[in-house]
Structure 1
């Protein structure tokens, strides 16, 4: 991104019908160049990868969808979002652009979780995989089920709301509150893609509030690692040294030992760390991250 906040590599938008929803897909680069798919995280959008794409040196056709209920992709017509839907949505997008060919796939946070699960469920579809802090969640216990179902039903009846903002500057300030490393120029760019004006003139975050509802389905780490163990592609696992993702795990925060235990299920994993970066490492260190990803993708099979 230039000093003025203008993207070095402009993106273009396309809309597809994906499993009954109008899906927004963002593209960068030459359509005839090698495909590279990028998957954003929770409460984020595809434009979030702009800084990293700008820093990439190779000739790539980057394809980055907005997940259902995020960005410019249509919201669901039900009360909730189910994680397996992301897998099926991803497969539909991959088949549309790549047919049966094995692809290179990058996923951040929730997108990293989807990408890594998909790589184990459809190992033949992935050539190389990059996981950016897609750690999964703490494992739930069966005795949590009654309370979780009750909480979910309560939240369905009283759906969460998200506040609106008077100006884009306020949206940018909200982004910088989440990430103090985010420059004014980058925050201003992201705010234009992270929010849109409603009929009342307020800027609303482009994320369905239903994403904030608790899931009634308990998270089972053993099922996740069973999928990870079937991955045949080389995997580059990248974490930020100053990540604050732990705050989402409460008192059951994942410890280093548990993260390493999970990574050990991936047959061919290369683990790297990026300094002076938090969970939004593609915003904090896009140049370093782009270099690491391109070096990994260029390795011989």
Structure 2
């Protein structure tokens, strides 16, 4: 099994009726801004371990489990759906708690990349550098889709309360590891074994359950407004590094209804933008090529000024 080279410590922080699980590496350093890492959908903060281990410089790194993922849970019953703006408020409160008035370097992957981009346009004064790892956003929508979207949201909420749309449980941690490797063939067995024990946990019946709420699978009731997104992108003042993998995940997911070329056109709305690619990698580039990604991050984040 993979053996982490840099050990993390964890704690729980009260945030908006949640106990937020936060992982940290390193210690606060007045000479460098804190580095905040936010994970993607159905992922966990421990997923950054391989990149942290590959970094040559020591940084104070803060990585939360988003609400409803990992060990972050509500004080009461879990919600039956999740709203994207909640991630922004959660992040703002976590930065209040950990960094106060200090600016931070913010790195987000996938859903976390989307949240990081929006947050950086809403709170530009808090961000020194921003890295977006395939936080593509969503396909553009039209107002005519609204009635059907609301109906779909209602139906999916009802199905959840009937006990449908649950997450699959596995007989063992090995079963979880095999699932991770099936999803990502580049993931080696030692890393899959380690990740499985961060990504899932045994329940009372001894089965291994994914540490993510099934309510995350419910479609958003609100349409994705591209015009709003681009206006927020234009408000970002920090230098931004947009990183994409050599595998084109968008074509696989959206069957050419939302393409990598469209994403690259959108991201051009960011005033101060650099772009980079990670070779021989898929969407989970922080698992596939942690050393190459660590070099990209360190080179970009060390730019002075």
Matched, 1:247 2:248: no
Displacement after TM superposition at 1:45 (Å): 0.3
Deviation per CA, 1:75-116: give whole Å up to 9, x if none: 474321000000000001111111011110000000000001
Check whether the contact 1:40–1:48 (CA below 8 A) recurs between aligned residues: yes
Matched, 1:229 2:234: yes
Check whether the contact 1:247–1:253 (CA below 8 A) recurs between aligned residues: no
Find the counterpart in structure 2 of residue 38 from structure 1: 37
Check whether the contact 2:250–2:260 (CA below 8 A) recurs between aligned residues: no
Find the counterpart in structure 2 of residue 295 from structure 1: 299
CA RMSD of aligned residues (A): 1.3
Find the counterpart in structure 2 of residue 71 from structure 1: 70
Matched, 1:173 2:178: yes
Distance 2:260 2:183 in 1: 22
Displacement after TM superposition at 1:225 (Å): 0.9
Greater shift, 247-256 or 286-295, is seen at: 247-256
Find the counterpart in structure 2 of residue 183 from structure 1: 188
Matches within 5 A, 1:125-204: 125-159=126-160, 160-204=165-209
Please give the secondary structure, in 2, of the residue aligned with 1:191. helix
Gaps of 5+ in 1: none
Which one of 251, 266, 270 corresponds to residue 266 of structure 1?
Answer: 270
Distance 2:122 2:45 in 1: 24
Displacement after TM superposition at 1:32 (Å): 3.8
Find the counterpart in structure 2 of residue 106 from structure 1: 107
Displacement after TM superposition at 1:254 (Å): 1.9
Please give the secondary structure, in 2, of the residue aligned with 1:158. helix
Runs of 4 or more off by more than 4 Å in structure 1? none
Distance 2:56 2:27 in 1: 13
When the two structures are superposed, what TM-score results if normalisation uses the length of structure 1?
0.96
Which one of 261, 268, 290 corresponds to residue 286 of structure 1?
Answer: 290
Gaps of 5+ in 2: none
